[in-house]
Each structure stands twice: as C-alpha cells, then as structure tokens.
Amino acid sequence: MAVSLMNKHLSSSNSSVPAGVVTGADYRTLLEACRAGGYALPAVNVTSSSMVNAVLEAASQSHSDVIIQVSHSGARFYGGNGLENTHNAAVFGALSMAHHVHLLAQSYGVAVVLHTDHANRPLIPWLDDLITHSARHHERTGRPLFSSHMLDLSAEPLDANIDTCADMLKRLAPLDIGLEIELGITGGEEDGIGHEFDEDSTENSHLYTQPEDVLKAWQRLNPLGMLSIAASFGNVHGVYKPGNVKLHPEILKDSQELVQKTAKTDHNPLHLVFHGGSGSEIDKIRQAISYGVFKMNLDTDTQFAYAHKVAAFIMEHQEAFEHQICPKTGKPFKKIYDPRAWLRKGELGVAERVKESFEILGSHGKSIAR
C-alpha cells in the first residue's frame, strides 16, 4: 500500500498555523508538529465556560497548543440541566461550547483542537446533529465547528466498528473534520460509557488492543480521511491506587511497526490517543508519546483540581457561605461568596493542573500558532 495522501500532505505543509481553532489542513499541521517534535497535547474535558477559560488561560501562559473536548453528558450539563429534552440539551451544549471556544481561542494566541469525546452507538444521533450544524457552518464560513469527533464502538465486533466508522468518516472528510476511533476497551467508566473498573480484571485481554486489529482499521479508514486511533494498552478511566493499572505501551510500538512495515510508511505513521491519562505513571506516559501518542485525555485530575481549590476557599471562609452579613462585625460577605471569587479559585486549580500536563507531555513552549 502506498503512503497515504494524508502523510504526503503533511510533509509539505507549513510549520505554523493561525491562532484559534484548527481544522482541516491546520489540524493536520498540528498533528505533524506533535509527531516531528515528539510531544503530545492534553485533551481536557470541559463542562462549563469556566472550565474552558481555565484551559485557554493555561495554554496561553504555557505557550502550548491544547485540545478541548466535551462528552455527551458534559455537553448536556453545558446546555443546562433545566432543559427537559436531553438530546437537544446535549446538542445545544456542545454547540455553545464550540462557539465559545471559537470566539475566544484566537485571543489567547494558541492553536486549539475542538473535539467531542466518547460517543457509542446510542449517541450517534448526537454526532449526526453536530455534523449537520458543522455542515451549515462550513457553508457560511468555509470551516467546520469541530476539529474532530470520537466514535467509540470498541465494545462491538471489530468489523462492525470499522464499517460504522467508515460511514461516518466519509461524511466528515468533506467538512475537514477528523475522526477518532477506539480499538480495544479502555477500562472504567466515563460519563456513562463503560463500566466501573474491576481492580481484579487488569489482565483482561479486552484492555489490550491487538496490532493486527490496528492495521486492519488503518488500512480501511486512513484513505478516507483524517484518522486517529485510541488503542488500548491497559489504560483505565479514573484514578486508582498504584499497581492496579498495568500499562503496556509496547503495544503501541508494535502497532506502529506493523503498519510501517506493511504499508512502507515513515516512522510512527499512526496518530495515537492515550485515554485515561489521569494518575498514569510519567515514565509510561512518555514512553507512549515516543510511540506516536499525540493526545492524552485529562478529566478526573482536572475535576479534582477544580473542586479541591473551591472547597479549600469555602472552608477557609465558611462563615461567609452561611451568612450574608458577618454576625460579629455586621460587615457584608458579598465579595467572598460572589461566584466570581470562588469559581476563580477553581479555574486557577484547573490551570495549574493543565500547565503540569504540558510539562509532562513535552508541549510546554511549543505552540505553532502565529
């Protein structure tokens, strides 16, 4: 098989992109920069504009590009739990997040990949509606709303997974939107998809993707459009005590080498994704990056970072969250219980954790935005 058109395009693309949300050729350029530079980007799940702003702030201060993503349930919360129609709330929430990021990302001076996280087969209608909105946006502006979407059919037979992904990629490609797929099952549960992690099941073969499956999916899907693959190597959503999660990044290396040998491509032809990055060992993370991981998902750690800082502030000023006016002095507490005070603490907690991820993933100071 000849080297893909995507790889040929990458080799001739510019090394910088305009600041803001990247799609199409600019998205490809960013992927190639990660591969050539041997680093990865954190993909941070968001549930509110406050979380979005914290991630953009961290990226700007670290001069690093970043991936902002939203799950179906995260988008539903973004749209507002007061909306009774769950489907519409998730669609409108994701669209609101997308427009928010498009409006602000350029001002922060970094490149942003805008992505939707895990969507299994019951959530395909959610993706269908988002793609329809992107098509309308593309007609007006020449660009889609999202850089990429994820379709997670890893619990289904391989052929059914690939067939459905092929159909979706054919729809995404004309809009310059990429597709992330999952092969093998990431342990644990994230936003309603998956199951609680069984700490006695870490040797489950389903947690480890077979390189032959990666090759089969790549051969079928890569010619159709922009493809990234979340290949499972024992990774698990959430944080668990040391020793219960057994990562084997060498699976990624074997997959890259099989595709390279079979298709006669350049080094690390696959754009790989690391799910369940929170709490993972740094040496395993960096080993995975050396094998072509360009994206590491980050959710549990940033949730905790937000909550921890907010809780600390509330406990420090407990009286202000029980009374509007101090019972002892008669002075108002408004400046303390004002949401702008305590939400800001949460934003700073998230920004601190995201900055740490830039250092770990090697992307600090490497933004290609101009």
Which positions ≥6 away from 96 have C-beta within 8 Å? 78, 79
Task: Tell me the CA end-to-end span of the chain in Å, nearest whole number.
Answer: 36
Long-range contacts (CB closer than 8 Å, 24 or more residues apart) made by 168-171: 168/124, 168/127, 169/221, 169/224, 169/225, 169/227, 170/224, 170/225, 171/131
Provide the angle, in degrees to the nearest 10, between the axes of the packed helices 211-221 and 158-172: 30
Locate 194 and state its tokens: 């998956």
User: Which residue among the candidates 117, 176, 191, 301 is catalytic per the annotation?
Assistant: 117
Q: Hunting for tokens 């990629």 — which residue is that?
A: 169
Q: Are 67 and 322 in contact (CB under 8 A)?
A: no
Distance CA 201, CA 370 (A): 47
Active site residue 117: yes
Residues recognised as catalytic: 117
